[in-house]
Chains A and B, each alone.
Chain A
Amino acid sequence: MQTVPWKCLTYYSRYTWWVQTGKLFTVLLAVLMVCRCTTLQAEEESTVPQIAFINSQIESVWADAGVEPVERATDLEWCRRVYLDLIGRIPTVDEVLRYKNDHSRDKQSVLVDRLLSDEYVREYAKHWSNVWTTVLIGRDTNNRMIDRSGMRKYLQTAWESNVPYDQFVEELLTATGDNADRSEAVEFNGATNFLSGKLGDGALQATAKTAQIFLGLQVQCTQCHNHPFNSGVKQNQFWELNAFFRQTRALRRFDGGRRVAWVELVDEDFAGQGGDPNEAEIFYELRNGLIKVAYPVFIDGTEISKSGLLPGSLGDGTPYGVHRRRELASLIRSDPLFPKALVNRIWAYFLGYGFTRPIDDFGGHNPPSPPALLDGLAQRFTEYSYDLKSLMRWIVLSKPYGLSSRMTPGSEKDAPDSGEPPYFSRFYIRQMEPEQLYDSLMVATKTNRVEDIERQDRWLSQFVMAFGTDEGDSSTTFNGTIPQILMLFNGDLVQEATSLDRDGFLDQVMVANHKNQDKINALYVASLSRWPSSIELRYANQLLLARQGRVKEALQDIWWALLNSNEFILNH
């Protein structure tokens, strides 16, 4: 905050004063601004071929559907959005002003490159580690076979070094070692947490989640019978996929008591349920009670050795055995669904809807829309060696991501929330993820607690509701419900954020700005990345009156209102 060019805020306060007092000025300014906006908007097509590809595909979607895209988001709206989506928090006052004062033509790509550079790599990795923790192990914190901080530690490192996605998935699928980083656990490997909690009951969860997350296939129903509507998935395929996990065991380690202290994931020879390790089969039951046999066969029909023994060699050097999980990882990496599942997930993350609904249910029963864009992006992502940052860069610099979230009559036909396919003709407004809100509150209030991940987890856990099944599934009550409102109204985080302590955020705003209006401007920029409207200023002045000149208290009230507003909590 010390480096904020407060003069700039002062400039804006004068600017707003003009707007308030001089109608003529208002008109003139409006004209000027329109001219300026149109020059900015009249930019030529992107020279990056992947971005140009997205744009042309989406333009034909618009043309086919007969929808008119809305205008582009304002500079500052886009800036807030891209901070939230790439590094998981809103921009600080410094960052807003820096972007605002950049007048170069390529300011958008400059900002994206900066957010993807070393400058922000810790925050970038922390954000994506939050996202992937939820994808890989959910939000339920009660599973003793999973160590959340171990999972996070691994993800943080992986995303800091921008591990290519195919390698990332291989590491998750083949991990061995201890799942928690503690002194007694010598072989720490946080990647083990993806599987450590999913191997119970014959690794049913490992099978279902691996297919769902990395291939976009819902196979959990096929455990008991052929898929009811996806004719592509049969019951035998579930068990043949399941067979790949049968050399893997999660060993519970105790530190004296009866509670599991950590879990060690190991590979062991699998003797097979029939007792012959060279033909290590598993049995499963058909609906009619018949028992069938399954060996590891990938969903595309590729068979691997039936041996349950880990690789080794006999005295004469003859090799034997197979490492089933490694085979699985390499089969998944080369499957055509593999890049598509990721592209669909990342696109849905940035644009609000994927190419299929839900994003992890591919198959003839659920065709993607538009298919060419999904296929084309998946192909380009593969060509770029599964580089996640490149994929994100293409998406956030594309036309659909840059559109406003305001509806216009021409875009009303684009209504994915009522079941129509999304046409991406505007930016779909949405709730921040709880982690984004948490970090944004931290940043907006300069509460330097961003690193306290356990506090974040405790805070989040109040919104998580378990369903009481063996699968440990849960839902969150975070999404715009009364408990969320009450938390922001009265909870301890907001109490801290609005405190008047010395050197706290509000205190700094008081000290750094002379005029009341500058102080109010600072609050608006810090929370909403914009300046207040004249009507809002009038309300703020009423608050100053109500507090009878106790400016600090009035600021506290305004700050509370800003942090509780729809505009703050929604990603728009």
Chain B
Amino acid sequence: MNGRKCRGPACSESSRRHFLSHLGGLAALSTPFASFANSLLANAEGLKKRQKSAILLWMGGGPSTMDIWDLKPGQATGGPFKQISTSVDGIAISEHMPMTARQMHHLAIVRSMSTREADHQRGRYYMHTGFVPNPNVEHPGYGSLIAHELADTIESLEIPPFISVGGGSVAPGFLGTTWAPFVVSPQGNVKNLESLVPQERLANRLQMLGAIENRFIGEKRGQLPKDHREIIGKSVQLMTSSQLAAFNVSEEPTSVRERYGETNFGRGCLMARRLVEVGVPFVEVNLGGWDNHSNIFSTLADQKLPDLDRAMSALIEDLADRGVLDNTAVIWMGEFGRTPTINGNGGRDHWARSWSAVVGGAGFSRGAVIGETSLDGREVISEPYSSQDLMASVLKSLDIPLDTTFRSKNGRPMKIANGGQVIPGLCS
């Protein structure tokens, strides 16, 4: 987007309608793209006020939550960081998160996450899906699932319902390619949006393409050829959408960009706010670099936590100020925590048995702490919670019914959030 106000063949609403009239008219000859064109025309009515969204702040690598949200000062396992008080009486977090501490009254910490997957790939899959990896079925992750569940309530969205900023997330699993994350760089560059030819000619081309696509689909070659046609429709929709401006964080005043931090994660959080405001139901923003097997404390204090603190606090504050937070769930987590024991290289290794996740907004309780770990942080001493439970709570906060059951292609029923239970006290 790089500072340009307008991209794609349809910049103004009038030229957009013009393009669509070409597409609609020609498509009617053959109907390959007719229904798609009609839906475009219907949707051009402008944005409507809308529903729930969620933002996942994904901390790739497994952050050391006992140095951020659940400190153990004075313990051998505690590390050098001090606690500071927050905007909520009785809740203290790391001294390196001062700005987020002032937003604590919007957030809730779950200090009793206890899981079993301490391998990156498995942990990433498990925390995104609520299921452990299974060779015979691929489960959808948060983004695909929530986009899928909320999509019906969004009539005016022209850009993909699941945007992942600066990372890969997990695959859409059995929901299919149409629910795959749309991955953009933190700069908001969406590549190859500009059509090579004018609108009218593009419409001609799409008609020819429709004939080839339909012939191949008609030969009964399974789902992939159909998915391809559907994603072509979504791509054309994207190329012509004025909502693309939401990706363009450079439109924001310098002061706002600086509040989020001129980092990839800062830009990603700012973009998440803008995307949620145009109606995108799910945005995942990735911050990697938490796999701190060595020199963890200087890395956290000098790099990771200042970047996180700045961006996360600005996001929460903005969402609240703009009245969007009540409809937007924010989830902060990684694939697992890190060992209470500090290793020989001044680092912490993978640890899934006791760690913290943080949520806020939508139907979540505000300014709350759920659960407790032992003095040295090695054990959860209250009721432990799993990925499924956290997922059930997130879905509840978005009013997505928990009795939803999916049927995989072979007819096997699969409960949403793998049958997890809403974490008591976490939803208001």
Contacts and interface: CB of A to CB of B under 8 A. Distances in A.
Interface of A: 201, 220-221, 224, 228, 289, 356-358, 361, 366, 405-408, 415, 417-420, 429-431, 462, 465-471, 473-475, 477, 479-483, 485-487, 489-491, 494-495, 498, 533, 535-536, 539-540, 542-543, 546-547, 557-558, 560-562, 564-567, 569-570, 572
Contact of A566 (B196, B217, B220, B234): B217
B295 interface: no
B116 interface: yes
Q: Which of A565, A569, A570 has the most CB of B within 10 A?
A: A565
Contacts of B201: 546, 557
Given A228-B116, A557-B201, A406 B220 contact: yes
B182 A557 contact: no
A468 B212 contact: no
Contact of B232 (A289, A405, A485, A535): A485
B288 A481 contact: no
A477 B288 CA distance: 18
Given A470-B61, A483-B191, A498-B196, A407 B222 contact: yes
B288 A480 contact: no
Given A489-B235, A539-B207, A557-B204, A469 B224 contact: no
B322 interface: no
B235 A482 contact: yes
16 contacts: A357-B136, A366-B135, A469-B61, A471-B120, A480-B228, A482-B160, A483-B183, A483-B191, A489-B195, A491-B191, A542-B204, A546-B204, A561-B205, A565-B209, A566-B213, A567-B212
Interface stretch (B41-49, B246-254, B405-413): B405-413
Q: Which of B167, B222, B225, B293 has the most CB of A within 10 A?
A: B222
Nearest to A533: B215
A480 B235 CA distance: 11
Nearest to A70: B220
A245 B171 CA distance: 34
A558 B201 CA distance: 11
A141 B264 CA distance: 19
Contact of A467 (B182, B194, B288): B288
B192 interface: yes
B226 to A, nearest CB: 8
Contacts of B222: 405, 407, 417, 429
Interface in B175-226: 177, 180-183, 190-197, 201, 204-209, 211-213, 215-217, 219-225
A222 to B, nearest CB: 10
B122 A221 contact: yes
A213 to B, nearest CB: 15
Given A220-B119, A491-B192, A566-B229, A468 B167 contact: yes
B185 to A, nearest CB: 9
Nearest to B202: A489
Nearest to B30: A539
Q: Which of B223, B229, B232, B408 has the most CB of A within 10 A?
A: B232
B119 A482 contact: no
Given A533-B215, A561-B208, A480 B192 contact: no
A567 B216 contact: yes
A366 B182 CA distance: 33
A469 B208 contact: no
A533 B183 CA distance: 37
Q: Which of B119, B341, B349 has the most CB of A within 10 A?
A: B119
Interface in B253-311: 286-291, 293
A34 B412 CA distance: 40
A367 to B, nearest CB: 11
A527 B148 CA distance: 35
A566 B216 contact: yes
B192 A487 contact: yes
A565 B216 contact: yes
A540 B208 contact: yes
Contact of A224 (B29, B160, B208, B350): B350
A562 B209 CA distance: 7
A465 B168 contact: yes
Contact of B410 (A419, A471, A547, A558): A419
A93 to B, nearest CB: 18
A482 B234 contact: yes
B135 A565 contact: no
A419 B160 CA distance: 27
Nearest to B335: A469
A431 B222 CA distance: 13
B201 to A, nearest CB: 7
A85 B181 CA distance: 28
Contact of B212 (A366, A490, A491, A565): A565
A229 to B, nearest CB: 9
B396 interface: no
Q: Which of B121, B122, B168 has the most CB of A within 10 A?
A: B168
Interface in B46-61: 60-61
A482 B191 CA distance: 10
Given A481-B182, A557-B205, A570 B408 contact: no
B238 interface: yes
Nearest to A467: B60
Contacts of A431: 224
Given A224-B350, A470-B291, A470-B293, 18 more contacts: A289-B341, A417-B222, A419-B136, A431-B224, A467-B120, A467-B167, A467-B168, A467-B288, A468-B288, A468-B290, A475-B171, A477-B168, A479-B180, A480-B177, A480-B224, A490-B192, A557-B205, A561-B211
B119 A221 contact: yes
A219 to B, nearest CB: 11
A491 B195 CA distance: 9
Nearest to A536: B211
A194 to B, nearest CB: 20
A485 B190 CA distance: 12
A494 B209 CA distance: 15
A5 to B, nearest CB: 25
Nearest to A494: B196
A431 B177 CA distance: 12
Q: Which of A201, A366, A415, A477 has the most CB of B within 10 A?
A: A477
B221 A406 contact: yes
B239 interface: yes
Contacts of B124: 467
A481 B216 contact: no
A228 B30 CA distance: 56
B231 interface: yes
B215 A536 contact: yes
Contacts of A415: 409-410
A221 B120 CA distance: 10
Interface string B158-179: 0010000001100100100100
Given A468-B60, A481-B177, A224 B118 contact: yes
